[in-house]
């Protein structure tokens, strides 16, 4: 007798569009970012000078790309702790490729980096889906293994900016309409992945898998294939980040990327992605990444003791999880009551 509205999006009778806009998951983290920038600019106007803004965008680029990739994996209720090691391998690989073949077309180097990242992501994905092992454990082990491979391959060898073509390095300097080229790449990535997750069948399936993978399997979703896709996507994006790292920074070697993984997870969590999957958006993860990288620069610009920085990041993460939890509880309550009233 009850009309089931379970599958229809909850519009809610009489709710203004403004209210539903405000309730979007990305709002808390975006407003935090806005507040941070405004406060810092008031204290130090140099923060939004053209160089300052360029620096902010450049700093955030690599973290944004990685957060988008890792966010996709987290949405499926998995995690990939090996992203730092993957970045290191691809960055060093990029340096090696340029050192071995200095005239190689830059596009080809990008493709090599993406392919290497995809391969490493696929290994993780296979282990998680075929061997049915929890991703936390697998990717923790792969973190060690990939780092060991990086150390064995690189040894004491480091490649510096001078070993790479100037045109490659200029990707991090030149701008398009005031936005650095590599940041444009990052924005394109965010848009593409966001559209993939929200508008395509395989993308939406990822949310279903994250919510309840047994139900998804019963529903007919090819869970293993989708999860593998998510890991490969994450690996590819991390590979892209690795190539851009080699463009932006000076040296690539054995220790590149060590310790990045928890920063990226933090960015995704702060951006509203639930650690259990099933909700959140990569746009939020991207904003979370921007927020965390901006805090570093903001504290320096404010001359705040840099020692407070990590503590502030910790508080931000806890706040973000709290906000996400409150939001999901209220959503659950609203869905329950809307079902009851519609029954």
Partner 1 sequence: MPEQTTTPSAATSGVGPRRASSATGAVDADHRDAGRVDPESASERRLRRRRRLTGRGAIMVYALLGTLIVCSLTVPRFASVQTTGFLLLDAIPILMIAMPMALVIITGEIDLSVASTAGLTSAAMGVLWAAGWGIPEIFVVCVLIGVACGALNGMLVTTVGLPSLAVTIGTLALYRGLALVVIGDNAVADFPPALTSFFTSKIGATGIPTAMIGVAVIVVFFGVLLHLSSFGRTLPAIGFSREAASFVGVHVGRAKFWMFVSTGVVSALVGIYWTLRYSSARSDNATGIELAVIAAVLLGGVSIFGGRGSIPGVVAGVLIISSVSYALRLGGISDVVLNVVTGLLLVGSVVTPSLIAVIGAKRRSRRSAREVLAASETAAA
Partner 2 sequence: MMFTTSTKRGARRALATAAALAGVALVASGCALTAGSGDDDSSSGSGSDGAQSIAFVPKQLNNPYTDVVLGGGEDASSAIGYDYSVVGPLEASASSQVTFINTLTQQGADVIVIAANDPDAVGPALQEARDGGAKIVAFDSDTNPDYRDVFISQVEAKDVALIQIRQMSEQIGGEGDIAILSATANATNQNEWIKYIEEEVDTNPDYAGINIVSKVYGDDDDAKSFQEAQGLLQANPDLKGIISPTTVGIAATARYLSTSEYKGKVALTGLGLPNEMREFVKDGTVTAFALWDPAQLGYVAAYAGQALVDGTITGAEGDTFEAGDLGERTVGADGIVIVGPPTEFDADNIDDYDF
| 193: partner contacted, choices partner 1, partner 2, none (Cβ within 5-8 A by kind) | none
Of 245, 94, 109, 111, the closest CA to residue 172 belongs to 245
> Which of residues 274 and 290 has its CB atom nearest to partner 1 in the complex?
274
Rounded Cα distance between 63 and 297, Å, is: 14
Whole-number Cα distances in Å, 103 to 107, 110, 167, 168, 251 = 12, 14, 11, 11, 20
Binding site for partner 2 (CB under 8 A): 44, 46-47, 50-52, 54-55, 59, 151, 154-156, 158, 160-162, 169, 172-173, 249-251, 253-256, 258, 296-297, 300-301, 303, 306
For residue 175, what is the enclosing H or E element?
A: strand 175-176
Write out the two tokens for 322: 């709290």
CB of 338 to partner 1, least distance (A): 12
Whichever of 147 and 248 has its CB closer to partner 1, that residue is 147
Sign of CA dihedral 91, 95, 100, 104: positive
Give the residue with the Cβ less far from partner 2, 59 or 72.
Answer: 59
156 HSE (CA, 13 A, CB side)? 0
Nearer Cβ to partner 2, position 60 or 227? Answer: 60
- Tokens 């395509």 appear where? 200
Q: Which is nearer to partner 1, 71 or 180 (CB)?
A: 71
How far does Cα 286 stand from its chain's mean position? 6
Which of partner 2, partner 1, none has residue 52 at its interface (CB below 5 to 8 Å by kind)?
Answer: partner 2
253 binds, among partner 1, partner 2, none (CB under 5 to 8 A by kind): partner 2
The residue ranges that bind partner 1 (CB under 8 A) are 25, 74, 77-79, 127-128, 131-138, 140-149, 151-152, 198, 204, 207-208, 210-214, 259, 262, 265-266, 269, 274-281, 305, 307-318, 321-322, 325, 328, 331-332, 335
Min separation Cβ 319 and partner 1, Å: 8
- Per-residue CA distances from 84 to 37, 74, 144, 259 (Å): 28, 16, 10, 6
C-beta of residue 124 within 8 angstroms of C-beta of residue 138: yes
State the nearest-atom distance from the C-beta of 108 to partner 1, in Å. 29
Minimum Å gap between C-beta 42 and partner 1 is 24
Secondary structure (3-state) at 23: coil
Q: Residue 98: name its binding partner from partner 2, partner 1, none (Cβ under 5 to 8 Å by kind).
A: none
Tokens coding 51: 């160089």
**Taking the complex as a whole, how short is the minimal distance between the CB of residue 303 and partner 2, in angstroms?**
5
Nearer to partner 1, 109 or 263 (CB): 263
The H or E element containing residue 245 is helix 223-248
């Amino acid at each position: 007798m009850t009309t089931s509205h379970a599958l229809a999006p909850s519009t809610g009778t009489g709710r203004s569009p403004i209210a539903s806009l405000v309730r979007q998951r990305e709002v808390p983290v975006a407003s935090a970012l806005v507040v941070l920038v405004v406060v810092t600019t008031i204290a130090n106007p140099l923060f939004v000078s053209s160089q300052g803004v360029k620096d902010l965008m450049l700093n955030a680029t690599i973290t944004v790309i990685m957060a988008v990739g890792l966010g996709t994996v987290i949405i499926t209720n998995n995690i990939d702790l090996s992203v730092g090691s993957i970045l290191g391998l691809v960055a060093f690989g990029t340096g090696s490729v340029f050192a071995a073949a200095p005239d190689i077309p830059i596009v080809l180097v990008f493709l090599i980096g993406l392919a290497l990242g995809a391969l490493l992501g696929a290994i993780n994905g296979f282990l998680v889906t075929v061997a049915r092992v929890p991703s936390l454990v697998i990717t923790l082990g792969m973190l060690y293994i990939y780092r060991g491979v990086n150390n064995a391959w690189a040894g004491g060898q480091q490649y510096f900016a001078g070993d790479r073509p100037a045109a490659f390095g200029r990707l991090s300097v030149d701008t398009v309409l005031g936005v650095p080229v590599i940041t444009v790449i990052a924005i394109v990535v965010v848009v593409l992945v966001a559209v993939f997750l929200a508008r395509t069948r395989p993308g939406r399936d990822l949310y279903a898998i994250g919510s309840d993978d047994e139900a998804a399997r019963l529903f007919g979703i090819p869970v293993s294939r989708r999860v593998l896709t998510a890991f490969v996507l994450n690996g590819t994006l991390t590979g892209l980040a690795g190539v851009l790292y080699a463009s932006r920074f000076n040296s690539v070697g054995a220790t590149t990327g060590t310790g990045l993984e928890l920063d990226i997870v933090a960015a995704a969590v702060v951006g509203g992605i639930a650690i259990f999957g099933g909700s959140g958006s990569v746009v939020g993860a991207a904003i979370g990444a921007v927020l965390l990288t901006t805090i570093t620069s903001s504290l320096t610009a404010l001359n705040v003791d840099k020692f407070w920085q990590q503590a502030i990041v910790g508080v931000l993460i806890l706040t973000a999880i709290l906000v996400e939890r409150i939001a999901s509880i209220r959503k659950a309550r609203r869905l329950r009551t809307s079902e009851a009233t519609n029954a």
